Amino acid sequence: MESASLQPHQVLPFLASIRPAEMEAQQLATCCAAWKTITLLPSGHGQTTTASIDHISWETASTGSLGRTPRKILLLPSFSLILTIQSCSCTDASRTITSRTDPSSLPSTLTYSISSNLYSTSYNGTIAGGALPAREPEGEILSSNLKDFSLNDLKNATKNFRSDSLIGEGGFGYVYKGWIGEPSSSMVVAVKKLKPDGIQGHNEWLTEVNCLGQLHHPNLVKLIGYCSEGDNRLLVYEYMPKGSLDNHLNRRAEPLSWQTRIKVAVQAARGLSYLNDECKIICRDVKSSNILLDLEFNAKLSDFGLAKDGPTGDDTHVSTRIVGTYGYAAPEYIATGRLSVKADVYSFGVVLLEILTGRRAFDRSREGAEQKLVDWARPQLGNKHKLRRIADPKLGGEYPKKGALELSLLAQQCIGEDAKKRPAMSEVLASLEKLQDGLRQMSSSSAALS
């Protein structure tokens, strides 16, 4: 029986959802389609359990009861992280899982296929539905400003979704470049076509339509329209020709200058501050690939399918299913399902680290502790003597040392373990604007001297 690595982004949902002999076969097959086997090791000696995807069964390496001893999940062979879970009693040497048990007996329910690094779980009976529930009567599109496209309209716009129109792909589906309107006055657009079995479902699609359809800000990507025809769910956005921040930091594009990086950080912070502080909305998926750039490298936040209304009144958080991207999600949110705007601040802090270091939030090509950016960078932040170690080498040293140190200190505050001590996004924005003002003054002084 062939064993395969359990990817880091698959660990949390797996731990949250799995208990031997209590997992529906279909659920197991859906969640673990990429795995051949997953090996569980009990803390005692000699006994192991393997969840076989091929046979949808639990098998023990030795006969007899496994009892209720704690087990550990071993990440084979690419990763050495070990996490602990509690097992339940399983007395059979091989037991086929064919039926669902009482949902209340499960610690949580996996709600998405985990083929990408998005994960999502529902805790203790929490309904796994769309975000912004108070604003969203079921199935209703609230904005009257959006164009309702037919599927045929969007087929024409994208040359029938031809491969040469494809500009992006993810777990949610595909993004195509298209043209709408008359040939003489056509508008370039980006058309996102959801996969029927993708990680973004109808609720998330509807949330994004209603969120972007009602909110307007220079630093939020503009949603032009949508298509909801049969099982087809599509979104039509303004086209952002420079792509995502992630592309410029991590691909072979021309490196972004320090000035451009700070400009992007300021504008992204402006958009997020608008959502968090003015609209009381928590984005839940702030990351560099969701920060899009226009021709002048102006930044706009995108992808609001996971957005949720923040707490109201005296509440400090809302309890919800866990969604996000590995490497960006705040630790307290992952651990408890309790969500506050400070989770977005944490994610934005990770983006600041990406801007400073040029590294990915999670990079499985790196060794051990260097894979997760936060873990690698945190011990070195705020130390001027270690600044050169973490600054993006693609900058070639062309950055103000004081400004880079201040950015590292700001990132350090944002990714703090104590959510209450993290700054508000309005404070993050003020700090970044101060950094940008300092750059402008330096530029003016240099121009005056030359």
418-440 residue pLDDT tens: 999 999 999 999 999 999 999 98
- pLDDT at residue 212, as a whole number: 82
Distance CA 434, CA 266 (A): 10
Residue 258: closest CA among 64, 443, 384: 443
User: Are 13 and 104 contained in the same domain?
Assistant: yes
Following DSSP, what letter does each residue of 416-431 receive, concatenated? Answer: -SSGGGSPPHHHHHHH
Distance CA 353, CA 417 (A): 16
DSSP class of residue 203 equals H
Q: Name the domain boundary from 238, 266, 288.
A: 238
Task: Tell me how many domains the chain contains.
Answer: 3
375 part of a folded domain: yes
Distance CA 160, CA 217 (A): 32
> What ranges make up the beta strands (E) of 302-427?
308-309, 318-319, 322-325, 338-339
H or E element at residue 209? helix 202-214
- For 202-228, what is the mean pLDDT? 87
Q: What is the mean pLDDT of the chain?
A: 72
> Distance between alpha carbon 125 and the CA centroid of its chain, in Å?
23
Q: Name the domain boundary from 223, 238, 253.
A: 238
Known binding positions for ATP = 193
Coil/strand/helix, residue 445: helix
Distance CA 419, CA 375 (A): 17
Cβ atoms 177, 188 nearer than 8 A: yes
Supply the residues annotated as catalytic.
Answer: 285
Cβ atoms 429, 438 nearer than 8 A: no
User: Are 32 and 96 contained in the same domain?
Assistant: yes
- pLDDT at residue 194, as a whole number: 87
Cβ atoms 154, 178 nearer than 8 A: yes
User: Are 337 and 211 contained in the same domain?
Assistant: no
236-273 residue pLDDT tens: 999 999 999 999 998 877 899 999 999 999 999 999 99
